[in-house]
Amino acid sequence: MEGTNMTLVLQFILLGFSDLPNLQGFLFGIFLLLYLGILLGNGLIIIITKIDPSLQTPMYYFLGNFSFLEICYASVTVPRMLTDLWTHNGNISLWACATQLCLFLILGVTECFLLAVMAYDRYVAICKPLYYFLIMKHHVCVGLVIGSWILGIPVVIGQTYQIFSMPFCGSRKLNHIFCDIYPVLQVACGDTSMNEFSVYADIVLFASIPFILILNSYIRIIITIMKLPSATGRSKAFSTCSSHLIVVSLFFVTATSYKKGIEKIISLFYIFITPLFNPLIYSFRNRDVIVAMKKSINLLQLSK
């Protein structure tokens, strides 16, 4: 392209919070505490759902996998962010940036589908209780989890390859806290309209479809609950769904929000807040999890 400053880009610079030099240490401390909270909270749920016999049900099998996913989701971005804050060096190689983006997108797609699977589990439990364990057999649950993990991989890898195959010119600086699609496209040369179209197509495919499936499940659940004769039964049924609904709302509201100028703030919400609050929501709003935690604490105290 004649007249264009074409350069072979081998690395980018993540600007992160470099515009707040006096707060680097403070932000490092806050983000480290939040990350440790994510690891501890979700790790605790994984352990409890594995060792407590009363939680060996499809619902808690999905919850354990969801907590593992949240740990992976945060670990793709947060350790790198902490390193940048500590070293004051945002340099990231092209391959590292592509890998981070690819893993981040794969985990995001997985979370969408896993939330849809969890909604389907609640639908079967409430709308078809007599057939619940017949439908939600262990091999079916395993298949649903594996499917959630692998469905988006081919498309995401293809999209990542398409983005990083583009030539980059001018600034190597990414005005973001990690390698995301839009900051990378902003420093690409030439027409990026096809890449942007593919991003929107993927959002429709991997976010809208799971959201519609979740919505369909909960419409059927609400219709079934409203038909229950007992107010106590209705309250109990709503209680088993409320935690999942809160988590769904947190994820889709933050993950699908993008506004130039505050994208870093929005990113912090779905990197930290959602993974941190998920175990808290499921713990404090779920009697079975609370009982299992108390039982585990009592066993630890007796073993000393």
Q: What is the DSSP letter of 229?
A: S
Domain limits for position 243: 11-295
In a domain, 205, yes or no: yes
Predicted pLDDT of residue 278: 80
In a domain, 191, yes or no: yes
Predicted pLDDT of residue 9: 60
Q: Distance between the two ends of the chain, CA-based, in angstroms?
A: 72
Predicted pLDDT of residue 261: 59
In a domain, 300, yes or no: no
Q: What is the pLDDT along the chain (304 residues), one digit of tens a residue?
A: 444 445 556 788 888 887 777 888 899 999 999 999 999 989 988 988 888 888 888 988 999 999 999 999 999 999 999 998 898 888 888 899 999 999 999 998 999 999 999 999 999 988 898 999 999 999 999 999 999 999 889 989 988 888 888 887 767 788 888 988 888 888 888 777 787 788 778 777 888 889 899 999 989 988 888 887 777 667 776 776 777 777 887 777 776 666 665 778 888 887 888 888 887 777 766 777 777 777 766 665 566 5
CATH number of the CATH domain containing 152: 1.20.1070.10
In a domain, 303, yes or no: no
CA–CA distance from 198 to each of 59, 151, 158, 192, 231 (Å)? 34, 17, 10, 10, 48
In a domain, 304, yes or no: no
Predicted pLDDT of residue 137: 93
Distance CA(276)–CA(36), nearest Å, equals 9
Global confidence as pTM: 0.87
Who contacts 164 (Cβ-Cβ below 8 Å, separation ≥6)?
A: 94, 97, 98, 184
Q: Is residue 94 exposed (0-12), middle (13-18) or buried (19+ Cβ within 10 Å)?
A: middle
Predicted pLDDT of residue 299: 63
The helix (run of H) or strand (run of E) holding residue 12 is strand 11-14
* Residues paired with 168 in a beta bridge: 7, 188
Q: Are 62 and 149 in contact, with CB atoms under 8 Å apart?
A: no
In a domain, 286, yes or no: yes
Predicted pLDDT of residue 139: 94
Q: Is residue 220 exposed (0-12), middle (13-18) or buried (19+ Cβ within 10 Å)?
A: middle
In a domain, 2, yes or no: no
Q: How many domains does the chain have?
A: 1
